């Protein structure tokens, strides 16, 4: 039987509706507007698209946005000076530096320079630590947060299930594992991480009740790597050449959607799965940052 599609666009739409109401209350009752700074260094075409999508989403929600673009050859001094300015700008509650930056930029140093209370990506060590210990004063990183919400809204409770995360990046794989193992409602899974150093990858992925692919390799997950009835979440967004299309490329995930949807019970599409959720959760974190900075409780 064909898998049920987990509609990330629709779920992100519901979360967005709630946030629009919250932003309106903040304006009406507290006279505050959340603000997000989005920093892009260089001209990477995919990054440009993502940054513009984030700015557009802010406008849809009534969130103030400040887009800053630095040239591809910008140095650390220039970028750190900008971070300092944004750290001290009261209109800005959240700061995001689009990843990956050009090679001359020391990304770790840039992340460390962002004030933890404005680190809506949850990349700063303070927030990563808070997430790991289950301290909700920090943030939850947008993509793994989006995956947890997709599971929640589609009625998949990870408790007692075996979740296998493919990939161990700081942005997705590692925090994804941390969230799934929390002793908390909507989590409490048994977690395995499969990565490039894992020798028996398929053997492990075939044990997954929930399989989360986040490795950035087009259509890596094939049907024979998936247990019949598994829930499959595809975090990948890969551009592959497609001369027949207008842009010359098409977007595919880390999962062979056509083949795997014949085996899985539920599956996310690409695009329209995890992608819209990442942006929705970024907006959520920006609103949370604003409320915390203004000492407003729910």
Task: Spot the catalytic one: 54, 57, 118, 161.
Answer: 54
Alpha helices in the chain (DSSP H): 8-30, 45-61, 76-87, 107-113, 125-133, 142-153, 173-181, 201-205, 257-260, 274-293
Evaluate whether 139 touches 184 at the Cβ level (below 8 Å): no
For residues 34 and 101, which CB has a smaller minimum distance to ligand GUN in the complex?
Answer: 101
142 binds ligand GUN (CB under 6 A): yes
Active site residue 288: no
Task: Spot the catalytic one: 22, 57, 98, 174.
Answer: 98
Active site residue 227: no
Evaluate whether 94 touches 36 at the Cβ level (below 8 Å): yes
143 binds ligand GUN (CB under 6 A): yes
For residues 99 and 192, which CB has a smaller minimum distance to ligand GUN in the complex?
Answer: 99
Give me the least distance between CB of 144 and ligand GUN, in Å please: 9
Q: Which of 37, 83, 96, 213 lies at the binding interface for ligand GUN (CB under 6 A)?
A: 96
Closest-by-Cβ residue to ligand GUN is 99
11 binds ligand GUN (CB under 6 A): no
CA–CA separation, 120 vs 13, rounded Å? 20
Q: Which stretch binds ligand GUN (CB under 6 A): 63-71, 80-88, 93-101, 288-296?
A: 93-101
99 binds ligand GUN (CB under 6 A): yes
- What tokens does 31 get? 């006279």
235 binds ligand GUN (CB under 6 A): no
- What tokens does 191 get? 């977690």
194 binds ligand GUN (CB under 6 A): no
Contacts of 249 (CB under 8 A, 6+ apart): 239, 240, 241, 242
For residues 171 and 187, which CB has a smaller minimum distance to ligand GUN in the complex?
Answer: 171
Active site residue 57: no
**Closest residue by Cα to residue 105 from 128, 83, 72:** 72
Provide the terminal-to-terminal Cα distance of the chain, rounded to the nearest Å. Answer: 43
- What φ, ψ does residue 107 adopt, rounded to 5°? -60, -40
Q: Tell me which residues touch ligand GUN (CB under 6 A).
A: 96-99, 121, 142-143, 171, 278
């Amino acid at each position: 039987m064909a898998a049920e599609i987990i509609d990330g666009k629709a779920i992100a739409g519901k979360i967005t509706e709630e946030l629009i109401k919250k932003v309106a209350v903040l304006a009406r009752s507290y006279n505050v507007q959340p603000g997000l700074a989005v920093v892009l260094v260089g001209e990477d075409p995919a990054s440009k698209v993502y940054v513009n999508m984030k700015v557009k989403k802010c406008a849809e929600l009534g969130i103030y946005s400040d887009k800053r673009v630095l040239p591809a050859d910008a140095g650390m001094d220039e970028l750190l000076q900008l971070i300092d300015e944004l750290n001290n700008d009261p209109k800005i509650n959240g700061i995001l530096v689009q990843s990956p930056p050009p090679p001359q930029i020391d990304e770790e140093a840039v992340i460390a320079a962002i004030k933890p209370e404005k680190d809506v990506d949850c990349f700063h060590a303070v927030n990563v630590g808070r997430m790991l210990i289950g301290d909700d004063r920090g943030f939850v990183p947008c993509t793994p947060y989006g995956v947890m919400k997709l599971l929640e809204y589609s009625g998949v409770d990870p408790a007692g299930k075996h979740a296998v995360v493919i990939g161990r990046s700081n942005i997705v794989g590692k925090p994804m594992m941390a969230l799934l193992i929390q002793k908390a409602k909507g989590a409490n899974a048994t977690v395995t991480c499969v990565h490039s150093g894992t020798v028996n990858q398929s053997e492990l992925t075939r044990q997954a009740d929930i399989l989360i692919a986040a490795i950035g390799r087009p259509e890596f997950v094939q049907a024979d790597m998936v247990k019949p009835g598994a829930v499959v979440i595809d975090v990948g967004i890969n551009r592959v050449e497609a001369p027949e299309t207008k842009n010359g490329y098409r977007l595919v995930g880390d999962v062979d959607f056509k083949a795997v949807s014949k085996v899985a019970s539920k599956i996310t599409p690409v695009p329209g799965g995890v992608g819209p959720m990442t942006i929705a959760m970024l907006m959520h974190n920006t609103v949370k940052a604003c409320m915390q900075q203004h000492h407003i409780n729910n």
